[in-house]
Amino acid sequence: MGSVLVTGAAGFIGAHLCQALLARGEHVIGLDNLNAYYDPSLKRARLAALTGDAPAGRFRFEKLDLADHEAVLALMRAHPEINRVAHLGAQAGVRWSLEAPFAYTAANVTGHLSVLEAIRRAEGRIRHTVYASTSSVYGARTDGAFRETDRVDHPASLYAATKVAGEVMSRTYSDLYKLPLTGLRFFTVYGPWGRPDMAYWLFTDAMLKGRPISLFNEGRMMRDFTFVDDIVQGVMAALDTPPADGGHRLYNIGNSRPEPLLGMVALLEELLGVTAIRELKPMQPGDVPATFADVSAMERDFGWKPTTDLRTGLTRFVEWWRRYHG
C-alpha cells in the first residue's frame, strides 16, 4: 500500500486529511513547521486530537520547514515507502502577504519547489501528487462562476501570485519529468479546527466577547464557503485517481453556491444567540469581492459533489468552538 506524505499536516485542512486517511487504513507521514503565523498550540491540539488515536506505527510526524530543500530531500530518501503526496503546506492568508511578503515566497515558491524536486528525485515511485492552490488566483471578479480555463494572470495579492507560481512550476515539472500532478483550487474552506484568521472564526470570537466585527467593503462580499469535510473528500478522490496521461491538471473545489457575507453573519447571530456589533469598513488591498466555483470538472472526473450547506457547516463549527473553548 505504501504511505502518504501530507505536508501542512498540523494545519486546518491537513489535519482533517490525515484523520480521513488514517480512518481508511492508510499509513501517513505528516510534515509541518508549526510556525507562529497563528498560535502553534492550536496546531499541536489538532495533531493530538485528529491523529493521536491512530494505531501504533501508522502515523509519524516530522517537524520540518518546506523551504529547507535539503531537509525535504532527506526525508523523502529516508522514507522509501512514500508513494503518494498531498502537498497542503503553505503560508496562507491574503492580508498578511502585504506585511510579510518573504514568508510567502519562502513557503509557497521555494517550499513548493522543494516538494517538486523531492518528487522528481524519487525516481518514479510517487504515483500521484495532489497540491493545494486557491480561488485567489482568479483575482477580483464578479462576472459569474470561475472556471479552470479562465485566465489567472492578474492576481490581486502576493499570496495569490505565489500560488499561481506554484501552478506554473507544477506544470513545468510535470512536462519535463512526466510527474503526475493535480492542483486543487480551494474556495473559502471553513469548519471545526479552522484558522483563526478566517472571517467566521474572527466574527465568532468577537461576537461572544462583545467586540465589534469588521465588515470590509461594508459587508458587500460574496464567498463560496466550502465545508472542510467536503474538501477532504475531494482531495482523497483526486489523490486516488492519477491523471491517465501522467500529466498535470487543475480543478476548482468549492461549494459552487456563493453566499453573502452578511448572510453568514446573520447565521452566526442565530447560532450564537448574540447580535453582532458591526463596523463597516472599505475594501482592503488584496481582497476580492466575490468567489464562485464551477466544479463541474470535479464532478465529471471524480463523481465529487459538495454536500454541506452553510447552516449545517456553521452549526458544526459552533458546536466544536464551544467544546474547544470550554
Sequence spans of domains, the chain: 3-191+227-255+292-307
131 belongs to the catalytic site: no
**Stretch 47-53: mean pLDDT:** 80
Quick one: pLDDT band at residue 54, thresholds 50, 70, 90?
A: confident
User: What DSSP letter does each residue of 65-124 carry, written as one string?
Assistant: -TT-HHHHHHHHHH-TTEEEEEE------TGGGGT-HHHHIIIIIIHHHHHHHHHHHTTT
- The C-alpha cell of 214 is what? 469588521
pLDDT exceeds cutoff 90 at 246: no
Q: Which has more pLDDT, 268 or 290? A: 268
Percentage of the chain modeled with pLDDT above 90: 87
What does the pLDDT read at residue 170?
A: 98
Task: Work out the widest C-alpha separation in the chain, in whole angstroms.
Answer: 57
**Cα 156 versus chain centre, distance:** 18
Quick one: pLDDT band at residue 217, thresholds 50, 70, 90?
A: confident
pLDDT exceeds cutoff 80 at 50: no
**Stretch 257-274: mean pLDDT:** 96
What does the pLDDT read at residue 290?
A: 87
Quick one: pLDDT band at residue 70, thresholds 50, 70, 90?
A: very high
From the candidates 159, 173, 190, 251, which is the catalytic residue?
159
Q: Which fold has domain 3-191+227-255+292-307?
A: Rossmann fold (3.40.50)
How far apart, in Å, are the Cα atoms of 306 and each of 18, 113, 229? Answer: 20, 31, 9
**Stretch 275-286: mean pLDDT:** 90
pLDDT exceeds cutoff 90 at 52: no
pTM beyond cutoff 0.85:
yes
> What stretch of H or E contains 253?
strand 248-253
Alpha carbons 147 and 5: distance in angstroms, whole number? 29
How confident is the prediction for the chain on average, in pLDDT?
95
How many other C-beta atoms lie within 10 A of the C-beta of residue 244? Answer: 9
What does the pLDDT read at residue 279?
A: 92
Choice among 29-33, 217-221, 224-228 with the minimum mean pLDDT: 217-221
pLDDT exceeds cutoff 80 at 56: no
Quick one: pLDDT band at residue 57, thresholds 50, 70, 90?
A: confident
Q: Which has more pLDDT, 51 or 209? A: 209
295-320 pLDDT tens trace = 999 999 999 999 999 999 999 999 99
* Strand 222-223 to 181-186 pairing: unpaired
What does the pLDDT read at residue 123?
A: 83
Quick one: pLDDT band at residue 186, thresholds 50, 70, 90?
A: very high
What is residue 248's three-state secondary structure? strand
Contact 214, 264 (CB under 8 A): no
**Stretch 229-253: mean pLDDT:** 96
**Cα 151 versus chain centre, distance:** 21
What does the pLDDT read at residue 129?
A: 98
What does the pLDDT read at residue 67?
A: 97
Size (the chain), residues: 326
